[in-house]
Amino acid sequence: MNQKHRQAQPPLEFIPPMLNPWVLKGCKIILPFWLQTRTEVADIHSQGVETLVECYQQFQEKKTRFLMAFRHPNINDPYCLAYLWWRIIPQVAKQKKIPLKKPIHAHFMYDRGIPIWAGEKVGWLYSSLGGTSIQRGKMDLMGLRSARHLFTDGEFPMAASPEGATNGHNEIISPLEPGIPQLSFWCVEDLRKAKRSESVLIVPIGIQYHYLTPPWEKISYLLTQLETESGLISHQEESVNEKMLYQRLYTLAEHFLKIIEEFYRDFYHKKIPQIEPQNIDNPNLALGIRLQNLLNTALSVSEEYFNLEPTGNVIDRCRRIEQAGWDYIYRQELKPTHPLSIVERGLANRVAEEAELMMWHMRIVESFVAVTGYYVKEKLTAERFAETSLLLWDLVARIKGESSFFRPQLGKQTVQITIGEPISVSDRSLDYQKNRRQAVANLTQDLQTALDSLIIRD
């Protein structure tokens, strides 16, 4: 993050959706070239799109409102979804002779933090495409009000990721956030209050990436780079095979754990539980336990600074830390109507800088929230090797103070988009009226199960 973002600033403003038809048309034209030249995506396949076409038809006939809940394993997911809306759905509708009004598009929710690290132009673009911003770590009333309005009255269906952020894994789903189920129940209530008869659905969408050619050589080269930067002896000249690569990856992961455990013990005076591998039959299990202990330790550093209780799951804790950091950086008293003295401004900048540094610990955890000690071991595929190696690359980039956004490209990929069976939220309205919290929890779990069932595990 650049120096500007380490300075105290006025509070983050809500970015309202301002759909611009000309921007939408321009993006449709640019998308194929962007996919070809700026991403690793070589081809996009789809399955079950007929279900989505029927949902769009019912939406346009004012029979239903629906939200597309998509998996979020990769930063290229938005481009793939746009290709689904703008290219694949119209083609399938034409083949099935189902008339759909153009344009085929979707409103979508995005994290308000994205324009912070990606640039203000991205915020303008998302807004111009009909997206609405949301701050995930607090009760963002304006963001929720906008999303609720779009779900009930928007020109297009909604789209959002219930995982909240990319987790870097094709075959592991992060614990889902309950926001989408809650938003869906609100839509049912709003329709009922308006005496409208539309049903409300959630459509699960799976997204997976597969290398056209397993990039073993590039994975080996990436491991060599990580070995060198972490102080391990390089094995670049050794033969490239799955077992050898796994041993290198395991050794590298264990080495990183040792270094960072010592970092928190020595400089943050943290007592991290000692795990003796000989006391656990499975060394991969021991590695996973050590990782989870380390993630809890890293979060505790941020939580102690921001005076937060370590309650909820890892994702809940990350969101609270992120919001606390933003509250220290983007402050109400820094509005233009509240001038500060030079001394007060200097102190505010100091607080902002420290908050940014403390959020660093949370960012490390955020990258590894879905990592286990056995993911690669149980299936030695190029995809799993690449995903884990790239997460380690992210870690090194963050430690060096560099952006983890521009990852190494290991090879061209094909993308599989799978449409699941719609989940009726309207049919659960009585359960919601009886026990709102339990109904939201049940729907969240059912959505997690539905998304997991869309993962293709060969």
Residue range 76-122, pLDDT digits in tens: 999 999 999 999 999 999 999 999 999 999 999 999 988 988 888 99
**How many residues are given for the chain?**
458
Comparing CA positions, the residue from 29, 159, 156 lying closest to residue 104 is 156
Q: How far apart are CA 93 and CA 99, in angstroms?
A: 7
Helix (H) or strand (E) holding 209: strand 199-211
Distance (Å) of CA 63 to CA 43, 159, 201, 333, 420: 34, 18, 11, 47, 20
At 162, is the pLDDT very low, low, confident or very high (cuts 50, 70, 90)? Answer: very high
pTM for this entry: 0.92
- Greatest alpha-carbon pair distance for the chain in Å reads 70
Q: Is pLDDT of 261 > 50?
A: yes
Comparing CA positions, the residue from 442, 446, 423 lying closest to residue 203 is 423
Contacts of 369 (CB under 8 A, 6+ apart): 167, 174, 295, 314, 315, 318
SS (H, E, C) 248-269: HHHHHHHHHHHHHHHHHHHHCC
Q: Is pLDDT of 1 > 60?
A: no
At 341, is the pLDDT very low, low, confident or very high (cuts 50, 70, 90)? Answer: confident
Q: How far apart are CA 18 and CA 144, in angstroms?
A: 16
At 281, is the pLDDT very low, low, confident or very high (cuts 50, 70, 90)? Answer: low
Residue range 243-255, pLDDT digits in tens: 889 999 999 999 9
Q: CA torsion, points 6, 10, 11, 14, in degrees to nearest 10?
A: -110
Contacts 24+ apart (CB under 8 A), 310-313: 313/175
Question: Are the CB atoms for 17 and 146 separated by under 8 Å?
Answer: yes
At 235, is the pLDDT very low, low, confident or very high (cuts 50, 70, 90)? Answer: low
Neighbours of 376 (CB within 10 A): 24
Q: Give 43's Cβ-side CA count (13 Å radius).
A: 6
Q: What is the mean pLDDT of residues 206-222?
A: 95
Question: Are the CB atoms for 69 and 204 separated by under 8 Å?
Answer: yes
Q: What is the mean pLDDT of residues 436-447?
A: 97
* Bridging pattern class, strands 199-211 and 423-424: antiparallel
Q: Is pLDDT of 4 > 60?
A: no
What is the percent of the chain with per-residue pLDDT over 90, rounded to a whole number?
A: 74
Domains, the chain, in order of start with CATH, read: 16-212+413-453 (3.40.1130.10), 216-399 (no CATH)
Q: Is pLDDT of 439 > 80?
A: yes
Amino acid found at 206:
G
More confident residue, 289 or 239: 289
Residue range 20-60, pLDDT digits in tens: 999 999 999 999 999 999 999 999 999 999 999 999 999 99
Residue 147, burial from CB neighbour count under 10 angstroms (0-12, 13-18, 19+) = buried
Q: Give 270's Cβ-side CA count (13 Å radius).
A: 22
Q: Which ranges in 165-241 belong to alpha helices (H)?
A: 179-193, 216-230
At 167, is the pLDDT very low, low, confident or very high (cuts 50, 70, 90)? Answer: confident
Of 140-154, 209-223, 337-351, where does mean pLDDT reach its minimum? Answer: 337-351
Q: What is the mean pLDDT of residues 293-302?
A: 95
DSSP state of 175: P
Residue range 188-206, pLDDT digits in tens: 999 999 999 999 999 999 9
